[in-house]
Amino acid sequence: MSLVDAPLVSVIMPAYNVEAYITQAIQSVLTQTYTHFELLISDDGSTDQTSALLLEQKDSRIVLLENNRNLGYVDNMNVLLKAAKGKYIVIQDADDYCDKNRLQVLVNFLESHTDLSMVGSCYVKVDDEGKEERVSVPVNKEEIQQSFARLDDPLPVLNGSTLFHRKIIDDGILFRHLHYTRRGQDDDWLFRVSEKFQIGNVDQYLYHYRSNSSSMTLNPSLVDYRSLFAGDYVRFLKSYRTRQGIDVLEQKKYSLIEAFFAEKKRTLTQEEPAYLELYIAHKYLGQKEKKQTLKWLLKALLKDPTNGYIWKKIVSVFLKEKSKS
């Protein structure tokens, strides 16, 4: 396939406070064997060195967008999707990176499988210490559709690994606000895509997904009871659409959604009264913020004062903090 004949690919990269990873993410795109692409990066009001690192990039294929205020993940993604010019669009998260053959493999696959509108790949999960775990995905399109219909968790396609036809965006399937949580938007988008378009996967490990304690999905400031149930909530929306033919969120039947969350919270707190507080404490501990960890452990203790595990955890964290002072 010559460069003249090659379809343009728009690689979109939403960025927010990713100074530790964005250079690697960008370089993994710029060194692709498939060269007919544009790389659109939208800095969503970063407060670290992300903006400065972006200004250092001189490649003509890079298109820098800068929001004059922090829009949040959903609106930032939609800015990029609407700005993309390519026949195909690729999502590349700014804290992840990809194999040099990623675009070539995925473009070739969609060009030769015209019944499909999206393709993902197997991926490698990378933790804070650089340890890698290979994650395989189903490659049969019928199996993938069945997985979506079963509301599987995780979904059979990783959002960040995908390349898709722009007709998905032209059809109006953008990211959307879920109102009750700032998590789950990726799965919600994939569910809605799967209801109108065929999706496939390639059996190659083309994407490196960084599972790190500073990522948005693990940010303690974003955690509340509803965010804990984000995955269940998205599947509740999907299930309702399947039964009723319309989305309960689009109908603005908020009382049904609130009843769903209330039941989830009731069940959770009956089983473990201090679950939320412990959850947040562990997230802060993962970020090595010991004072915040102790704060949330104490909140957990107020909810469940006879819980021996909480007492032991407080003592352990306190002693480690004291030994450093």
Q: Band the pLDDT of 4: cuts 50, 70, 90.
A: low
In this predicted structure, the answer to whether residue 2 has a pLDDT above a threshold of 70 is no
Hunting for tokens 């790949």 — which residue is that? 121
**pLDDT at residue 3 in the model:** 58
SS3 320: helix
Return the percentage of the chain with pLDDT > 70, whole number: 94
User: What CATH number is given for 9-216 in this structure?
Assistant: 3.90.550.10
**pLDDT at residue 89 in the model:** 98
Hunting for tokens 């473990």 — which residue is that? 272
In this predicted structure, the answer to whether residue 15 has a pLDDT above a threshold of 70 is yes
**Minimal CA–CA distance to 210: which of 137, 282, 288, 128?**
128
**pLDDT at residue 217 in the model:** 44
Regarding beta strands 118-126 and 199-210, do their DSSP bridges make them parallel or antiparallel, or are they unpaired?
Answer: parallel
**pLDDT at residue 61 in the model:** 97
Give per-residue pLDDT as tens, 175-215: 999 999 988 999 999 999 999 999 999 999 999 999 854 44
Task: Give residue 75's region: left, alpha or beta (phi > 0; psi -120 to 50).
Answer: alpha
Query: Helices in 204-253 by DSSP H: which ranges?
Result: 225-228, 230-244
How many angstroms separate the CA atoms of 177 and 262, rounded? 20
| Range of weakest confidence among 3-12, 161-170, 278-287, 306-315 | 278-287
**pLDDT at residue 219 in the model:** 62
Average pLDDT, the chain: 92
- Which amino acid does the sequence have at 225? Y
**Minimal CA–CA distance to 241: which of 255, 226, 256?**
256
Give ranges for CATH 1.25.40 in the chain: 220-324
For the chain, the 3-state helix, strand and coil shares in percent, each to the nearest 5, are: 45, 15, 40
Hunting for tokens 């019944």 — which residue is that? 115
Give per-residue pLDDT as tens, 75-122: 999 999 999 999 999 999 999 999 999 999 999 999 999 999 999 999
Give per-residue pLDDT as tens, 43-70: 999 999 999 999 999 999 999 998 889 9
CATH domain 220-324 topology: 1.25.40
How many angstroms separate the CA atoms of 251 and 233, rounded? 16
How many angstroms separate the CA atoms of 305 and 286, rounded? 24
Average pLDDT of the residues in 5-28:
95
Give per-residue pLDDT as tens, 213-250: 444 444 666 677 788 899 999 999 999 999 999 999 99
Give ranges for CATH 3.90.550.10 in the chain: 9-216
